[in-house]
Structures are given as structure tokens and as C-alpha cells.
Amino acid sequence: MVINIISEFFKSNGLVGAIGIIALVMYVAYYIANSIGQKRMGSAFAIIIGLVLAYIAGKYTGGKKGLADIKLFAGVGLLGGGMLRDYAIISTAYGVKVENLKKAGLVGIFSLIVGVLFSFIIGVIIAVLLGFKNAVDITTIGAGAVTFIVGPVTGSALGASSEVIALSIAAGVVKSVLTMIITPIIAPKIGLNNPTAAMVYGGLLGTTSGVAGGLAATDPKLVPYGALTATFYTGLGTLIVPSIGFLLVKIIFG
Amino acid sequence: MEIYGLGIIAVCMFVGSFLGNILGNLLGVKGDVGGVGIAMLLLVLISNYVESKGKPFPEKTSKGIEFVSFLYIPIVVAMASIQNVVAAFKGGAVAFLAGGLATIGSMLLIPLISRIGASEKNYNITK
């Protein structure tokens, strides 16, 4: 009886159920992050837990939509679907000031453009080297090397398969986690100790959670400078990768 | 009201998606190209415009926008949980190489580009 009531609830209140599940995942992720003294890695842990759950569900159901293939958790498909995702991404642009963009100056804009293109090209080269031939797949994986947001946005715009989109998210997650871990270690060697370098750093790496985490572990005073340019990175990526990026890949690799 | 904030994002999303679809058609790509980026720029322009006019969004309106942006990471987590990770793992090296090399390479570029910024500043001072 109890199980019936629960499954009925999840069936008729899918979205509410999904919000509860994701809240629980966030709680667990931040608990782990706090207990190892890496508060800022909470979101990276949560994403990893999400991917692990998708893996388990995929093994269990043999389906293609991860957790959403389990009837009880179908609502997660709604919460994590394209509509709400795009809606939330757009809202993060709020609070960005045009004058702050000007303050970041020419070098900030330059590092943004170089950062997006550099990561994209690296991702494209790796995709081609590892045998991807389709222009849509190559572009999506390249976009994943930009950030784990640009990857799926590009993938869904171009109609890439769920497998390739998952690969692009995984590439973005690898980038975000590595950024947090490596930054404090190599900061002295790359001269990451002043606002200009921090702005360049935010523009080149872009992954907002990675940059905020990495800078906080290096020198908290640098966080706003890096986060400033990083905020524009995903926007620039979603703007130029599915358009100019895809066009270039299509011309070169057919 | 908070719902006004949600509505402002909705308008940006509609306009962005509309322009993105036009761009997609022009480029011969099915669907929306860069619509999210256009919508983000639009939100930046609108919020900066109303502020420059000295009439920023009321507190409750901006709370509505901020509420949605706080949901950004949880939504990304939900998105991660509905991906075909089993299939992704079969080609896992690509994710680690693409993400890893992009990160390390970008970091090595920092001193190079910072130097451009530094010399630019010197130039301005001597001027």
C-alpha cells in the first residue's frame, strides 16, 4: 500500500518529485564537499552524482534517458529538459554590468574570444583524432570542451544524439573539476596573482564554478575579477560555437 | 511582483529564440542557433538600460530573476542525470582528453595574454 501511494505521487506529481530528488542530490553533494573542506566543489560533485545516477539507471533500464527512464523519476526529464535549462541559463546574465565589461577592458575581451576558440579547437581535434566523423558530433564535443553548458546547448541546437551530448557534458565536467583542483597548484607558476591575470584566467577557462572554486582556493580577493569575465564566457560560447564554430567544422570536415 | 522577473526572462528567451531561429534558417541549420546567448545579451542590455535611466527593477522583480538563476546548478544536475552516460562511457577517453587538454592548455595561455594586458597598460601610461 505504502509503495503504491508513493509511486502514485511520483506519477502524478513528476516535476515536484524531481525537485525533491535533485534537492536531495544537492544536499548530499554539498555535504561531501563540506566534509572534505572543498565547499565550492559542491556543484561539481552534484553533477558527478547526477551522471552516476544516469549511469546506474541506464544500466538498469537499458534506456537512453538516464534517470528519466525509470517511471518513478520521469519528472527529472522535465526539470532537466531543454526548456527550463535555457530559461535558467539566461537568468544568470542578470547583474552583469556593461560598464564592468568595459572595465575588464580589451585584454578581457581578447582572452574571452581566445578562450572559447582555443578550448573548442582542442575539443574538435580530440574528437577527430578519436574517430568522430560527423560534423554535428565533432562540434558538440568541441563545445563540451568549452563548458558543460555550451556542449548540450550546441548539441540540442544541432540535433546531436544523447550519447554525444553526454560526452560533451562529461568533457565540460572534467574541465570544471580539473580547474578547481589545478588552479591553486599552478597559480604561482603562471603569475596568477593580480587582477589582470585573474580577468584573463576567467576569460580563458570560463567554467564559472571551476573559476570561482579555483580562485577561492588561490586568493579570495581575485574571485570577482575572474568571475567577471567567466560570466561572459558561456554566453559567448553559446553564441558563436553553434553558429561560427559549426560552420567552420562543417567546411573543414564536411 | 516576483512573477514580473520570471516574465522578463521569458520575453528575453522568446526574442532570443526567435532571432536564433532566423539565424539558423539563414545558416541552413535546423532550429535555434545561439538564441540563448542572444537572450543573455538582451537581459544584460535591458537591466543596464533601466538602471541607467535611474529606474532599476523593483526589488521583488529582481528577486524573481535571481530565483531562477539560483536554480541554474540544480537544473544542470537534473540535466546530467537524464543523459545517456552508459553510452558516453564507451567512448570515455574523448571526454577526459578534450576537457583535460582544454583546461591545461588554457592555463598555460594565462601568462602570455596577461603580458599583452600589462604592456597595454604601460603604453597608456607613457602616452
Does B124 reside within a domain?
no
The residue whose grid cell reads 545579451 is B41
Q: Indicate if B67 and B103 belong to the same structural domain.
A: no
Instruction: Say if residue B75 is in the same domain as residue B21.
Output: yes
Q: Which residues of B touch A204 (CB under 8 A)?
A: 106-107, 109-110, 113
Query: What local confidence, expressed as pLDDT, does residue A207 receive?
Result: 83
In this predicted structure, what is the pLDDT of residue B8?
A: 96
Q: Are residues B40 and B74 in the same domain?
A: yes
ipTM of the complex: 0.82
CB crowding A128-163: b at 16 or more within 10 Å, else e: beeebebbbbbbbbbbbbbbbbbbbbbbbbbebbbb
> B98 and chain A: CB distance < 8 Å anywhere?
yes
Residues B70 and B98 in one domain: no
Q: Are residues B17 and B79 in the same domain?
A: yes
Do the domain assignments include residue B54? yes
Q: Is A222 exposed, middle or buried (0-12, 13-18, 19+ CB in 10 A)?
A: buried
Residue B118, pLDDT > 70, answer: no
B29/B72 same-domain check = yes
Look at B79 and A141 and tell me if their CB atoms are within 8 Å.
no
Is residue B14 located within the same domain as residue B67?
A: yes
In angstroms, rounded to a whole number, what is the distance separating the alpha carbons of residues A84 and A66?
18
Asked whether the beta carbons of A207 and A179 are under 8 A apart, the reply is: yes
Q: Is residue B125 part of a domain?
A: no
The answer to whether B82 contacts chain A (CB < 8 Å) is: yes
* Distance between B6 CA and the closest CA of chain A, angstroms: 9
Q: What pLDDT does A100 receive?
A: 60
Residue B91 has a pLDDT of 61
Q: Flag whether B126 is in a domain.
A: no
The answer to whether the CB of A55 falls within 8 A of the CB of B27 is: no
| pLDDT band of B127, cuts 50, 70, 90 | very low
Provide the number of structural domains found in chain B.
2
Are A89 and B91 an interchain contact pair (Cβ–Cβ within 8 Å)? no
Q: How far apart are CA A110 and CA A117, in angstroms?
A: 11
Asked whether the beta carbons of residue A67 and residue B81 sit closer than 8 angstroms, the reply is yes
pLDDT of residue A128: 95
Q: Is residue B37 one of the residues assigned to a domain?
A: yes
Closest in B32, B36, B98 to A90, CB measured:
B36
Residue located via cell numbers 529582481: B62
* Cβ neighbourhood burial of A205 (10 Å; 0-12, 13-18, 19+): buried
Please report residues of B whose CB lies closer than 8 A to that of A248: none
- Amino acid B117: pLDDT: 63
pLDDT (tens digit per residue) in A53-109: 999 999 999 888 889 999 889 999 999 888 898 898 888 778 777 766 566 568 888
DSSP assignments along A124-150, one per residue: HHHHHHTT---HHHHHHHHHHHH-TTH
Q: Which of A50, A48, A47, A39 is nearest to A180 (CA)?
A: A39
**Contact between A23 and B75 using a beta-carbon 8 Å cutoff:** no
Same domain flag for B72 and B10 = yes
Q: What percent of chain B has pLDDT over 90?
A: 35
Question: Are both B67 and B96 inside the same structural domain?
Answer: no
pTM to 2 decimals?
A: 0.73
Averaged pLDDT for residues B10-34: 82
B92 vs B82, more confident? B82
Parent domain of B108: 84-119
B13: Cβ contacts below 8 Å, ≥ 6 apart: A86, A87, A90, B35, B36, B39
User: What pLDDT is recorded for position B125?
Assistant: 34
The sign of the torsion formed by the CA atoms of A54, A77, B99, A35 equals negative
Euclidean distance between CA atoms A172 and A94, whole angstroms: 23
Q: Tens-digit pLDDT profile for chain A (254 aa)?
A: 888 888 888 889 999 999 999 999 999 999 999 999 877 678 778 888 888 899 999 999 988 888 999 988 999 999 988 889 889 888 877 877 776 656 656 888 899 999 999 999 999 999 999 999 999 999 999 999 999 889 998 998 899 999 899 899 889 888 887 887 788 888 888 988 888 888 899 899 988 777 877 887 787 777 767 777 787 788 788 888 988 999 999 999 87
Residue B94 shares a structural domain with residue B79 = no
* Full DSSP string of A53-68: HHHHHHHHH--SSGGG
**Does B94 lie in the same domain as B78?**
no
Mutation for A interface: B63, B77, B109, B124, most A CBs within 10 A: B77
Chain B residue closest to A85 (CA)? B75
Shared domain for B114 and B89, answered yes or no, is yes
Cα separation, A222 vs B78, whole angstroms:
31
